[in-house]
Amino acid sequence: MTEVAVAGGLPAGPAESEWAAAVAAVRDLPADARVLLICHVNPDGDALGSMLGFGLGLRRLGVRDLQATFPGPPEVPEPFRWMPGVELLVPQDDTYPDPDLVICFDAASESRLGDLVGRLDTAGTSLVLDHHASNTGFGRINLVDPHAAATSVVALELLDRLGATLDAEVATGLYVALTTDTGSFRFEATTPAVHRMAARLLATGIRPGDISRRVFDTRPFGAVRLFGEVLGRATLEPAAAAGHGLVWTYATREDLVRHDQPAYVLEALIDSVRCTEEADVSCVIKQAGEAEWAVSLRSKGAVDVSAVAVALGGGGHRFAAGFTGRGALDELVGRIRAELATATLVAP
């Protein structure tokens, strides 16, 4: 297991030796090698898009025995079911028990792999592609670039080094990943390099308007009603986060049942909460079990929410992070408030 390089207190991008090791891990596979791709639990656009786009790229390189998966129920969120490469997906229980190579996408720690974490031990080798500054370096080979806007940036770099063909199907997944993690190029991670990558992907012939409608602008009416109810219980705490402000809300399993909606529709709710003018930090708490909650945190820049998430068992970036919390809702919110009070404040 390699360590993620650190320079000046900030994680650096992959060293050339790590890129070389990753290329060799793929190129040296025997013809009958079994490759397993894994992304994190409750996969978002970057996790699925990076994994499926990369998986199709491996197919172009001649990798035949290839599976893609994620922990938990094998239900792909509706906005991503149309993507090229979904045919690579198999339920976690049907995956290779001892693959020759495991490649993990967009997971900052082993805990994000759920019941699939054991594949790291049974695999011939393991490769991690990620862009979270909080990544623990849990793979034998780690390509972690916290300066990358999305994991798809790392995935495309590796495909280029492998000499894989970049066609429209491969580009579609990588573009979905890039647009979701940059908020359609609205977030701080959007750089000239991001736009250059987007231009390169668009040059393959993909249709950005169609992708945007499918991913961002299509939602069942039941989800609209659900969002209205959950937003109606949002709470603003201007004094929280050392005076930078916190806005938070929550959704229960009963809410989902009442509106006949799957849990994944709540992933987009944070974007409606984070626009609150009076709060730097936004938080959406989604019930996942009897006393288990999936917590999403966002910051406009004054507070490093990854410090909060890491302290509470999760990870992420300065602007976006999350963790799984347990216990009563009011106790969980209290822990979040306490961590926000001492979270790393970012100089303006």
**pLDDT (mean) for 241-252:** 97
Residues 71-113: pLDDT tens digits? 999 999 999 999 999 999 999 999 999 999 999 999 999 989 9
pLDDT of residue 11: 58
Residues 115-140: pLDDT tens digits? 999 999 999 999 999 999 889 999 99
At 2, the pLDDT band (50, 70, 90 cuts) reads very low
User: Please, are residues 215 and 179 in contact by the beta-carbon 8 Å criterion?
Assistant: yes
pLDDT of residue 346: 62
User: Please, are residues 123 and 100 in contact by the beta-carbon 8 Å criterion?
Assistant: yes
**pLDDT (mean) for 324-345:** 92
Residue 7 has pLDDT above 50, yes or no: no
Range in 133-137, 158-162, 251-255, 341-345 with the lowest mean pLDDT: 341-345
Mean pLDDT of the chain: 93
Residue 14 has pLDDT above 80, yes or no: yes
Nearest alpha-carbon partner for 280 in 255, 248, 250: 248
**pLDDT (mean) for 177-200:** 94
Q: Which two tokens stand for residue 335?
A: 């822990």
pLDDT of residue 6: 34
Q: How big is the chain, counted in residues?
A: 348
Helices 45-60 and 168-181: angle between axes, nearest 10 degrees: 160
Residue 9 has pLDDT above 60, yes or no: no
Distance CA 265, CA 263 (A): 6
Beta bridge partners of 127: 103, 141
Range in 44-53, 180-189, 236-245 with the lowest mean pLDDT: 180-189
What stretches of the chain show up as alpha helix (H) in DSSP? Answer: 16-27, 45-60, 119-122, 151-162, 168-181, 192-202, 208-216, 221-232, 253-259, 269-273, 305-311, 329-341
At 314, the pLDDT band (50, 70, 90 cuts) reads confident
pLDDT of residue 146: 93
Could you give the 3-state DSSP secondary structure of residue 308? Answer: helix
End-to-end CA separation in angstroms for the chain: 36
**pLDDT (mean) for 271-287:** 97
User: Please, are residues 340 and 246 in contact by the beta-carbon 8 Å criterion?
Assistant: yes
**pLDDT (mean) for 38-62:** 96
φ, ψ dihedrals at 74, nearest 5°: -80, 55
Rg (CA), the chain: 20
User: Please, are residues 180 and 320 in contact by the beta-carbon 8 Å criterion?
Assistant: no
Share of the chain above pLDDT 70, in %: 95
Ramachandran area for residue 304 (φ above 0: left; ψ -120 to 50: alpha; else beta): beta
